[in-house]
Amino acid sequence: MESAPSTPSPADAAEDLAAAAAVRDAFVARLAMPRGYSLVTGSGNAALAYGIALGNSTWRFGTVAFVLALAVQVAALASATRMFRARNGASVTGVSGFGGPRSTRVVVGLFIVVLVPCIVGATWSMVAGFPVLSALVALCALPATAVADRWWMARYLDRR
Amino acid sequence: MTELNPIIHAPLRLRLCAILSAVEAAEFHTLRDSLQVADSVLSKHASALAEAGYLTTRKETIDGRRTTWIGLTRAGRRAVQEHMRALEELIGTAAPPARPGAR
């Protein structure tokens, strides 16, 4: 067990805090999204949106397509996480840690804003008999995810 | 007044905890380079924090390279916040706010 520290002077305390904040800020400032990160996450989201649309279609292999899309999404997320860790030597999460509960709301909000319209649009198009339009709508998840990824990262860096 | 935490108080540990409070986990060598210390120094301080239940470590292999990942536990995050609050309170005692009307 460590002994209680002798109480530092206010000046020493300020110096300790400033040094800790400086090293933390320098560490966070070098975090960046790896090249191709959003391509991977966006492709996963697009595959999921189209998979759900196919799953709701009358196509006999719709359920299989949905399960495959789900697998693609899981693989994409795992790959994106690996890429981020390899690039930065650190992992961040929107669901816990630095961002706190507010960050969780941001992640859930982004999911709703980015993915849900693509899923609903792709499914509606598929059910209405427009499979090509459905695929195009699902593909919109790719650029939307790229924008959302960048927005979240910028917000994360701002919160340091 | 919030008490200073003797386990976090050492400057290097405070800096390590400050970095870890900003991420979910960080790789040992990345932390070592950021803190500009030797492996053994970082290892010693990380062990002390882990013994107190403030840190978790896990070994992983990325691209064929074995790495150690270090992250704060929930108790660790709380302890770091409280320690920083204690330091801020201490700084606050140096400059009490001026009373309205005081000359």
Q: How far apart are CA A73 and CA A135, in angstroms?
A: 16
Q: How far apart are CA B15 and CA A17, in angstroms?
A: 9
Cβ of B25 within 8 Å of Cβ of A91? The answer is yes
- Choosing among 3.55.50.30, 3.30.460.80, 1.10.10.10, 3.40.50.300, the CATH entry for B11-91 is 1.10.10.10
Specify which of A12-16, A105-109, A146-150, B46-50 reaches the highest per-range mean pLDDT.
Answer: B46-50
Q: How far apart are CA A25 and CA A5, in angstroms?
A: 26
- Complex confidence, ipTM: 0.84
Angle at A36 between CA A112 and CA A82, to 5 degrees: 80
Which tens digit of pLDDT belongs to each residue from A115-146? 899 999 999 999 999 999 999 999 999 999 99
Q: Which residues of B touch A5 (CB under 8 A)?
A: 4, 6, 9
**Residue of B13, B19, B31 to mutate for A, most A C-beta atoms under 10 A:** B19
For chain A, the domains span 35-158
Q: How far apart are CA A94 and CA A84, in angstroms?
A: 13
Q: How far apart are CA A21 and CA A15, in angstroms?
A: 10
Give the residue on B whose Cα is nearest the Cα of A96.
B24
Which tens digit of pLDDT belongs to each residue from A53-99? 999 988 889 899 999 999 999 999 899 988 998 899 998 875 444 54
For chain B, the domains span 11-91
Query: Cα torsion at A66, A72, A75, A79 (round to 10°)?
Result: -150
Among A7-11, A80-84, B27-31, B98-102, which stretch is predicted with the lowest mean pLDDT?
B98-102
Cβ of B19 within 8 Å of Cβ of A97? The answer is no
Question: Residue B19: which of B88, B90, B79, B72 has the closest Cα?
Answer: B72
